[in-house]
């Protein structure tokens, strides 16, 4: 039963092959929400559906805001001290986009909502969330923002051509009257939305389409490549696109591709709380793009090797450094990456301050209309006789390392399950929960507490699987010693490649 369920889940959760950092689009946060929704439905996650770099981006960061640049670069070590005999240095690389004053700096919107009104949207986790999303978002808009509303099922309906938001009452009335029926002609609905924005295109406005759907196109043009190509033609004319998915059988590949090529964001909604987080707390991210075409370069000093990097597979890690394309940054958004720098015996350097790496970012400043470069040195204090070195002394870095380790652990649980090592998968989920609870005691972080509860729920799902497959409750005594530890290794190469996150 469980193996059959897994096969079905693989068929419905599509692998993202086209959401690559180099394609643009705001830093994705949907990965964590999608995993949360699957776990809450009692499903076993598929390893290929867990993208570690995206998972980490969901969590709030506290990076300093830029003062006279579009983006701030924040470099932080897990411990600023390092023994001269060598060891690991955990490096956190944070990017923070500037916050634009909404009243005086933000461009007004020319926005089309394209809403899936097909029969597949009748579920409680679909249309009710769409309506709540629009009502919440409209409350954040300005009276002079232009909004049009398009719905689609077998046919396309322009519910309202572009008009000023004013009080927003008319928008709420229109979305509350949406009638659900028929199939899903996503292609025609999307083009109708682009046409509304194009008819009112204004370089002084943020011209954007927001598509809300479960992504299951089954009428008209259904080929994902053709849909994406037709959207790209409008993207090339300066009309951005953001997508919002929901439900268990949405077309993740299509929605993420549309958002990436349209320099927009992709959001997944799994409940009312996520609606409020996206459309109330973070509504500004839909308005203005701050920095695009971002690349981060990390180059270690001689004697120091790069051994791990968030979202980069170990067989693509280069000991002498990496160039990593990142996602675009919208207003007040952030990104974070973690790396491990490993020092051999650096006695020759002596004690005291020592540069162990250089971090630089390049990006296109959308407001200044020029390419920018920022660079920071990574400095440690080398000590002789530092025998009890803790590389994760800094609590902020430690927190993010635990979050990343949870995502990597979820991938490993999937691999263990596929290898029919069900008890080991269950045991690892308990290890991850314990690690999260430990960091929660230090931080009192609500997001960490939610993640710990999620792992507790996942343990129950895995325990049920063990019982159904093996006829008994899981117990650690059935595991070999080698299964009680998570072993990881890094493979180094001799070139300095430009790599994409979680490709």
Q: What is the CATH number of domain 104-287?
A: 3.40.50.410
- Tell me how far apart the alpha carbons of residues 113 and 386 are, in angstroms, rounded to a whole number: 59
Q: What single string gives the DSSP state of each residue in 87-99?
A: EEEEEEEEEEEPP
CATH class of 71-101+290-391: mainly beta
What is the model's pLDDT at position 206?
A: 87
Residues 470-481 have a mean pLDDT of 78
pLDDT band of residue 276 (cuts 50, 70, 90) is confident
pLDDT band at 307 (very low <50, low <70, confident <90, very high): very high
Say what the pLDDT of residue 26 is: 58
Residues paired with 75 in a beta bridge = 93
For residue 154, what pLDDT is reported?
Answer: 92
Q: Please choose, from the candidates 87, 92, 94, 80, the residue with its C-alpha nearest in 3D space to the C-alpha of residue 354.
A: 80
Q: For the residues 34-58, what does the mean pLDDT come to?
A: 89
Instruction: Please give the pLDDT value at position 486.
Output: 46
Q: Which range has the worst mean pLDDT, 1-5, 179-183, 260-264, 265-269?
A: 1-5
What's the mean pLDDT when you consider all of the chain? 84
Mean pLDDT of 152-158: 93
Residue predicted with more confidence, 105 or 295:
295
Q: For the chain, which residues make up each domain, given as ranges?
A: 71-101+290-391, 104-287
> pLDDT of 129-141, one tens digit each?
888 888 888 888 8
What is the per-residue pLDDT for 487?
A: 35
Alpha-carbon dihedral angle through residues 220, 230, 16, 435, given to the nearest 10 degrees? -110
pLDDT band per the 50, 70, 90 thresholds, residue 27: low
> Which H or E element spans position 266?
strand 266-269
- Higher pLDDT: 464 or 138? It is 464
Q: In residues, how long is the chain?
A: 503
Segment 420-436, tens digit of pLDDT? 888 889 999 999 999 99
Pairing of strands 71-77, 87-97: antiparallel
pLDDT at 140: 82
Are 472 and 5 contacting, i.e. CB atoms less than 8 angstroms apart? no
- The reported pLDDT for the residue numbered 177 is 83
Q: Is 0.85 topped by the overall pTM?
A: no
Q: Report phi then psi at 114, rounded to 5.
A: -110, 115
Upper half-sphere CA count for residue 47 (Cβ side, 13 Å): 12
pLDDT grade, residue 480 (50/70/90)? low
Q: Are 111 and 74 in contact (CB under 8 A)?
A: no
For the cut 80, the answer to whether the pLDDT of residue 242 exceeds it is yes
* CA distance linking residue 116 with residue 103, whole number of Å: 32
Residue 94 predicted with pLDDT over 90: yes
CB-CB contact of 263 with 239 (8 Å): no
Give the model's pLDDT for residue 326: 92
Instruction: Look at residue 178 in the predicted model and tell me its pLDDT.
Output: 86
Letter string b/e over residues 44-81, b meaning 16 or more CB atoms within 10 A of that residue's CB? bbbeebbbbbbbbbbbebebeebeeebbbbbbbbbbeb
Residue 356 tokens read as: 């162990």
Task: Say if CB 201 and CB 239 are below 8 A apart.
Answer: yes
In angstroms, the CA 31 to CA 55 distance is: 5
Q: Please report how the helices 186-199 and 224-235 are oriented relative to each other, as an axis angle in degrees rounded to 10.
A: 0
Poorest-pLDDT segment among 182-196, 246-260, 438-452, 465-479: 246-260
pLDDT at 284 (0 to 100): 65
What is the distance between the alpha carbons of residues 62 and 102, in angstroms, rounded to a whole number? 21
Q: Sort strands 289-300 and 352-365 into parallel, antiparallel or unpaired.
A: antiparallel
Q: Is the pLDDT of residue 350 over 50?
A: yes
The full DSSP string for 4-16 is HHHHHHHHHS---
User: Is the predicted pLDDT of residue 24 greater than 80, yes or no?
Assistant: no
* Average pLDDT estimate for 385-403: 89
Residue 452 has pLDDT above 90, yes or no: yes
- Checking if the pLDDT of 20 tops 50, the result is no
């Amino acid at each position: 039963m469980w193996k059959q369920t897994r096969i079905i889940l693989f068929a419905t959760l599509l692998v993202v092959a086209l959401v690559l950092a180099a394609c643009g689009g705001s830093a994705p946060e949907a990965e964590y929400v999608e995993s949360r929704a699957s776990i809450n439905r009692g499903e076993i996650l598929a390893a290929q559906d867990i993208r570690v770099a995206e998972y980490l981006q969901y969590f709030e960061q506290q990076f300093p805001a830029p003062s006279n640049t579009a983006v701030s670069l924040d470099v932080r070590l897990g411990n600023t001290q390092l023994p001269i005999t060598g060891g690991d240095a955990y490096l956190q690389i944070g990017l923070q986009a500037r916050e634009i004053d909404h009243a005086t700096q933000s461009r007004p919107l020319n926005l089309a909502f394209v809403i899936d009104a097909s029969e597949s949207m009748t579920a409680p986790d679909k249309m009710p969330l769409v309506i709540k999303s629009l009502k919440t978002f409209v409350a954040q808009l300005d009276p002079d923002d232009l909004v049009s509303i398009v719905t689609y099922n077998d046919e396309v309906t322009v519910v309202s051509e572009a008009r000023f938001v004013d009080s927003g009452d008319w928008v709420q009335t229109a979305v509350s009257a949406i009638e659900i029926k028929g199939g899903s002609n996503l292609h025609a609905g999307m083009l109708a939305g682009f046409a509304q924005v194009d008819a009112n295109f204004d370089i002084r406005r943020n011209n954007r389409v927001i598509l809300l759907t479960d992504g299951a196109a089954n009428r008209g043009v259904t080929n994902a490549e053709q849909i994406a190509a037709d959207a790209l033609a409008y993207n090339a004319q300066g009309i951005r696109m953001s997508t919002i998915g929901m439900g268990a059988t949405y077309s993740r590949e299509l929605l993420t591709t549309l958002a990436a090529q349209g320099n927009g964001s992709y959001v997944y909604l799994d409940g009312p709380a996520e609606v409020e987080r996206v459309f109330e707390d973070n509504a500004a991210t839909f308005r203005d793009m701050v920095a695009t075409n971002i690349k981060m370069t990390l180059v270690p000093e001689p004697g120091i090797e790069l051994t791990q990097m968030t979202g980069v597979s170990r067989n693509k890690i280069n000991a002498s450094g990496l160039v990593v394309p990142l996602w675009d940054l919208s207003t007040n958004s952030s990104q974070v990456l973690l790396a491990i720098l490993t020092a051999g015996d650096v006695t020759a350097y002596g004690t005291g301050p020592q540069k162990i790496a250089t971090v630089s970012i390049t990006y296109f400043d959308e407001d200044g209309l020029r390419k920018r470069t920022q660079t920071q040195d990574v400095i440690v204090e080398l000590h002789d006789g530092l025998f009890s070195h803790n590389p994760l002394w800094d609590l902020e870095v430690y927190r993010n390392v635990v979050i990343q380790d949870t995502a990597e652990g979820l991938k490993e649980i999937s691999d263990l399950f596929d290898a029919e090592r069900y008890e080991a998968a269950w045991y690892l989920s308990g290890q991850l929960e314990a690690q999260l609870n430990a960091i929660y005691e230090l931080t009192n972080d609500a997001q960490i507490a939610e993640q710990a509860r999620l792992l507790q729920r996942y343990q129950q799902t895995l325990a049920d699987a063990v019982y159904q497959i093996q006829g008994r409750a899981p117990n650690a005594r059935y595991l070999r010693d080698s299964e009680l530890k998570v072993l990881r290794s890094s493979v180094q190469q001799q070139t300095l490649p430009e790599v994409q996150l979680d490709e």
